[in-house]
């Protein structure tokens, strides 16, 4: 139940697919060539595509180094390689020479690139020559960032962490048992027996030290944080970093992270003069400067099973944001630190604002307040007074800019999503962009002052050979009237070679999150192009709870999962049946993952005969069980409003539990496919198994696709192909009779 972060997905795919073979045994997986028999997207075509992930422009803006992932279904692995090109996209050249993956490229100067290979930092010349290993850590480096002067680097490495899970007895080295003493003993898809810390290495002296030495806190933060959660100051003297100073139960119920400023030469973490909390700069400085306790008005400590939003809270030093703060970046002149900031504790989908801290004046301001949506990525302009950023509005992730006074201007308005951006040179940006029909590519952006005078040009076409063989679906927008009189934007995706005189089987797509945008995303699983290419019309509503339509629209989902949101789904499919003559009302299906899977399980008991089949992937089925099964307890605290065992729970909490899908299995009457990964610790596999078992015990046609080695996503190539084949076989069986 996370916001979609494409760079995170790319990293996860890399980790899942690479394997641990010896170099001599590795197959050099290269760019896949594919000659299709027809012009329709297939699962094999989808997995043959190359995938751009990280990229960085040289300091002089003349070159761009970027990372590409090649996937082999036969080998069930991927290979991450580095490419170089001129800033205009010309003279593209692969730098990686062998079967070993090379990642995380970073410029040391205009002629030298640092990169990660087999857990060590290397460097090479502009053309891939002069390769040299820079670190010797026995393969322990998991991320890195060089200081601007090139003399030092931050190295991310894991350290043993035995505070939650006890260290195994020395005389039982082969035991698989784990003795657990507190919550957060597992996160996303792994047990927490180690955490990452940032180390600083001085290449002149060889000295290396942990800037969080002795602290039980992680940096970057689990489960998706990386090197983007730290930043060097332009003078190489300070590091800004993200940290949530909590462990165990405290960690599991709180999203309160902060940005800290660490003076590298000081080396004294517990000295307030050298480690400053920029988020709570007036707070008493305990360990790391972030100890605090929240109390009820009557002085009693907060009940961890009650959400912070509905309790009377008296926190020391009012006005301090206590939500997520992450991803700091210094302005080029070193005066400011910017970061992404959420205001409320425990609310992972709160509006993510762009915060600016003035290191000279010791003041903090927010510069995107006029935009009623979240900032998803950003970068400083060279003038240190302008910031460019990405935000979703009306189902598109567009480019914006703001100044230090908070004057926001929109710079693009395409039916597409920008996934990330960074400065190319004094006047231009390089950005990643994708859509329902186009996987990620890199684009040159010359930002103007308005949409009209902003220039955008594609500079890579990494999948042109495959895309040129494919017929594209048509994309339309509809504004649908909801049951409470609102207007809801709904995407309609039509099959290639669409014939308006025909009737088509139609899918209602239920989005996850629940606070995830139904924007122009490209997915290697929930891919609208392949759904349409298999002969289905797709109806994808931006129902209550998604971002991009204002905070009020987004927040109506929390505490009301089965209320207006479900009515919005039905409004979308009913509108399609009534007004789109090519939609076959007798061949409707509903599909979705995560919160979308929950939606499918709920609709299965409330659809009143609309649908002929369902597919739910990694969905919540029993909310009482889910409350204590999930690892990040702040999520269920906020979304459900209360613990199920509290007798004085709120009316919204009672409504949530009373409307859990498992309570309506007696009304199920429609075939259902349940899919789940057993390493999904966000929504445990017992949820999917329980739904499948219940359906079969009711005598309902059902199928279970279970992946013992997958998490909340499906990351391995052969598992991905099996997922697609099973998905479409189920739909075809019930909707193409």
- Mind listing the pLDDT tens digit for each residue in 145-172? 999 999 999 999 999 999 999 999 999 9
Residue 149 covered by a domain? no
Domain boundary at 315, 341, 366, which?
A: 366
**DSSP character at residue 472:** P
Residue 604 has pLDDT above 70, yes or no: yes
pLDDT at 105: 98
Residues 184-205: tens digit of each pLDDT: 999 999 999 999 999 999 999 9
Instruction: Give domain status of residue 153, yes or no.
Output: no
- Does one domain contain both 465 and 486? no
Residues 47, 188 share a domain? no
Total H helices, total E strands in the chain: 13, 40
The total number of structural domains that make up the chain: 4
The residue among 62, 104, 114, 115 whose CA lies nearest residue 85 is 62
**Could you give the CA distance from residue 643 to residue 666 in angstroms, rounded to a whole number?**
25
User: Do 210 and 292 fall within a single domain?
Assistant: yes
pLDDT beyond 70 at 282 = no
Q: Which residues, in sequence order, are CB contacts of 539 under 8 Å at separation 6+?
A: 490, 491, 492, 506, 507, 508, 509, 572, 573, 576, 583
- Predicted pLDDT at 26: 80
User: Residue 598 is part of which domain span?
Assistant: 471-735
How many whole angstroms separate alpha carbon 675 and alpha carbon 673? 7
Asked if residue 217 belongs to a domain, the reply is: yes
Does 52 score more than 90 pLDDT?
yes
pLDDT tens by residue, 480-503: 999 999 999 999 999 999 999 999
The pLDDT of residue 315 is above 60: no
- CA-wise closest residue to 395 among 519, 554, 540: 519
Same domain (yes/no): 435, 354: no
Write out the catalytic residue numbers. 594, 680, 712
Omega within 30 of 0 (cis) for the link into 514:
yes
What's the confidence (pLDDT) of residue 280?
A: 81
Answer yes or no: do 702 and 600 share one domain: yes
For residue 283, the model assigns a pLDDT of 45
Q: What is the DSSP string of 16-36?
A: HHS----GGG-----------
Query: Has residue 148 been placed in a domain?
Result: no
pLDDT tens-digit readout, 638-685: 999 999 999 999 999 999 999 999 999 999 999 999 999 999 999 999
CATH code of 543's domain = 3.40.50.1820
Position 348 scores a pLDDT of 96
Structural domain contains residue 152: no
**HEC string of 291-346?**
CCCEECCCCCECCCCECHHHCCCEECCCCCCCCCEEEEEECCCCCEEEEEECCCCC
Report whether the peptide linkage leading into residue 434 is cis, meaning its omega lies within 30 degrees of zero.
Answer: no
Reported as a single tens digit per residue, the pLDDT across 86-144 is 999 999 999 999 999 999 999 999 999 999 999 999 999 999 999 999 999 999 999 99
Confidence of residue 268 (pLDDT cuts 50, 70, 90): low
671 in the same domain as 573: yes
Q: Is residue 146 part of a domain?
A: no
234-258 pLDDT, tens digit per residue, is 999 999 999 999 999 999 999 999 9
**How much is the mean pLDDT over the chain?**
92
Q: Is 545 found in the same domain as 410? A: no
pLDDT tens string 530-547: 999 999 999 999 999 999
Q: What is the pLDDT of residues 388-413, one digit of tens each?
A: 999 999 999 999 999 999 999 999 99
Res 281: pLDDT: 61
Give residue 544's pLDDT.
Answer: 98
Q: Would the pLDDT of 353 be above 60? A: yes
Residue 420 shares a structural domain with residue 504: no
Q: Of the ranges 101-110, 230-239, 260-269, 595-604, which one carries the lowest mean pLDDT score?
A: 260-269
With respect to residue 154, please indicate whether it lies within any of the assigned structural domains.
Answer: no
pLDDT given at position 321: 81
**147 inside domain:** no
Q: What is the pLDDT of residue 293?
A: 40
Confidence of residue 274 (pLDDT cuts 50, 70, 90): low
The half-sphere exposure of 128 on its side-chain side, counting CA atoms within 13 A, is: 15
- 723, 576: one domain: yes
Query: Average pLDDT of 54-75?
Result: 97
The CATH number of whichever domain residue 96 belongs to comes to 2.40.128
Q: Are 72 and 86 in contact (CB under 8 A)?
A: no
Rounded to an integer, the average pLDDT of 287-294 is 44
Same domain, 325 and 212: yes
Average pLDDT value for residue range 213-230: 96
- In angstroms, rounded to a whole number, what is the distance separating the alpha carbons of residues 387 and 375? 11
- Is the domain of 293 the same as that of 423? no
Query: For position 319, what pLDDT does the model report?
Result: 52
Last residue of a domain, one of 348, 366, 384: 366
pTM for this entry? 0.93
SS3 of residue 263 by DSSP: strand
Q: How far apart are CA 643 and CA 640, in angstroms?
A: 8
Looking at the fold, whether 535 and 667 belong to one and the same domain comes out as: yes
Residue 579 Cα distances to 478, 573, 574, 576, 585, angstroms? 11, 10, 8, 5, 11
Beta carbons of 387 and 402 less than 8 angstroms apart: yes
Instruction: Lay out the sheet containing 672-677: strands in order across.
Output: 474-481, 487-494, 537-541, 504-510, 583-593, 613-617, 672-677, 702-707
- Last-in-domain residue among 366, 384, 415: 366
Whose CA is closest to 56, among 91, 90, 83, 81? Answer: 83
Residues 6+ apart with CB under 8 A from 10: 51, 53, 54, 67, 69
């Amino acid at each position: 139940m996370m916001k979609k972060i494409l760079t995170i997905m790319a990293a996860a795919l890399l980790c899942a697919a690479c394997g641990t073979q010896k170099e001599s045994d590795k197959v050099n997986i290269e760019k896949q060539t594919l000659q299709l028999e027809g012009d329709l997207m297939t699962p094999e075509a989808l997995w043959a595509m190359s995938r751009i992930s990280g990229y960085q422009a040289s300091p002089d803006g003349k070159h761009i180094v970027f990372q590409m992932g090649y996937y082999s279904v036969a080998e069930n692995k991927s290979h991450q390689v580095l490419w170089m090109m001129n800033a205009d996209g010309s003279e593209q050249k692969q730098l990686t020479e062998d079967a070993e993956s090379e990642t995380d490229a970073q410029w040391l100067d205009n002629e030298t690139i640092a990169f990660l290979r087999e857990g060590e930092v290397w460097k090479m010349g502009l053309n891939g020559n002069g390769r040299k290993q820079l670190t010797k850590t026995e393969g322990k480096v998991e991320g890195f960032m060089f200081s601007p002067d090139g003399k030092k680097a931050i190295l991310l490495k894991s350290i043993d962490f035995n505070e939650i899970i006890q260290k195994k007895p020395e005389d039982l080295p082969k035991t698989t048992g784990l003795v657990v003493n507190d919550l957060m003993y597992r996160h996303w898809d792994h047990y927490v027996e180690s955490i990452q810390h940032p180390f600083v290495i001085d290449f002149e002296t060889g000295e290396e030290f942990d800037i969080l030495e002795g602290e039980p806190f992680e940096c970057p933060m689990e489960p998706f944080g990386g090197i983007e959660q730290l930043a060097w100051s332009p003078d190489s003297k300070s590091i800004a970093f993200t940290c949530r100073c909590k462990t165990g139960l405290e960690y599991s119920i709180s999203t309160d992270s902060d940005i800290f400023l660490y003076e590298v030469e000081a080396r004294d973490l517990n000295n307030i003069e050298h480690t400053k909390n920029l988020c709570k700069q007036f707070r008493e400085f305990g360990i790391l400067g972030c100890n605090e306790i929240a109390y009820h008005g009557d002085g009693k400590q907060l009940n961890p099973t009650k959400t912070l939003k509905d309790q009377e809270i008296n926190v020391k030093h009012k006005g301090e944001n206590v939500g997520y703060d992450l991803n700091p970046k210094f302005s080029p002149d070193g005066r400011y630190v910017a970061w992404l900031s959420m205001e409320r504790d425990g609310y992972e989908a709160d509006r993510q604002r762009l915060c600016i801290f003035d290191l000279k004046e010791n003041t903090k301001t927010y510069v995107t307040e006029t935009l009623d949506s979240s900032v998803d990525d950003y970068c400083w302009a060279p003038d240190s007074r302008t910031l460019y950023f990405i935000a979703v509005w009306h189902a598109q992730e567009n480019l914006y800019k703001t100044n230090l006074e908070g004057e926001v201007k929109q710079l693009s308005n395409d039916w597409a999503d920008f996934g990330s951006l960074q400065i190319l040179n004094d006047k231009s940006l390089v950005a990643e962009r994708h859509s329902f029909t186009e996987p990620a590519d890199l684009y040159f952006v010359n930002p103007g002052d308005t949409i009209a005078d902003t220039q955008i040009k594609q500079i890579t076409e990494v999948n042109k050979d495959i895309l040129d063989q494919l017929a594209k679906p048509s994309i339309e927008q509809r504004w649908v009237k909801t049951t409470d009189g609102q207007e809801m934007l709904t995407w309609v995706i039509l099959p290639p070679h669409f014939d308006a005189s025909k009737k088509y089987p139609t899918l209602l797509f239920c989005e996850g999150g629940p606070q995830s945008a139904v924007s122009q995303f490209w997915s290697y699983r929930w891919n609208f192009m392949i759904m349409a290419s298999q002969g289905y019309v797709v109806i994808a509503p931006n129902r209550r709870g998604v971002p991009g339509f204002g905070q009020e629209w987004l927040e109506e989902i929390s505490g009301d999962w089965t209320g207006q949101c479900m009515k919005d789904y039905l409004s979308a499919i009913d509108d399609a049946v009534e007004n789109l003559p090519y939609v076959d009302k007798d061949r409707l299906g509903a599909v979705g993952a995560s919160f979308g899977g929950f939606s499918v399980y709920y609709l299965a008991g409330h659809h009143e005969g609309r649908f002929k089949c369902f597919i739910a992937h990694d969905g919540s089925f029993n909310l009482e069980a889910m409350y204590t099964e999930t690892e990040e307890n702040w999520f269920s605290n906020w979304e459900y409003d209360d613990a199920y065992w509290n007798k004085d729970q709120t009316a919204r909490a009672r409504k949530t539990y009373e409307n859990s899908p498992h309570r309506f299995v007696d009304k199920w009457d429609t075939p259902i496919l349940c899919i789940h990964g057993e390493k999904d610790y966000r929504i445990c596999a017992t949820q999917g198994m329980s739904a499948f078992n219940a359906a079969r015990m009711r005598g309902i046609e059902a199928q279970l696709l279970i992946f013992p080695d997958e998490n909340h996503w499906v990351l391995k190539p052969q598992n991905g192909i099996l997922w697609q084949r099973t998905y479409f076989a189920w739909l075809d069986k019930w909707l193409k009779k």
